């Protein structure tokens, strides 16, 4: 597969996905971001508890 044909296929794929938007109706971006932040902070806290040798 050559680069121009692969690029043409990717352009076609990107153009088809434009009407869908990619977001599910039930997903709230603020809730998902808040949960991700909470999980990352929890993992950071757990990591610092196990790293007391410093």
Convert 4-52 into a string of H (helix), E (strand) and C (coil). HHHHHHHHHHHHHHHHCCCCCCCCCHHHHHHHHHHHHHHHHHHHHHHCC
Calculate mean pLDDT across residues 24-39.
90
Calculate mean pLDDT across residues 4-30.
74
- At residue 21, the pLDDT reads 59
Indicate the pTM of the whole model: 0.52
């Amino acid at each position: 597969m050559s680069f121009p044909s692969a690029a043409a296929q990717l352009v076609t794929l990107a153009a088809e996905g434009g009407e869908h938007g990619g977001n599910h109706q039930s997903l709230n971006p603020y809730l998902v971001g808040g949960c991700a932040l909470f999980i990352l902070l929890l993992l950071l806290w757990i990591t610092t508890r196990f790293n007391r040798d410093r």
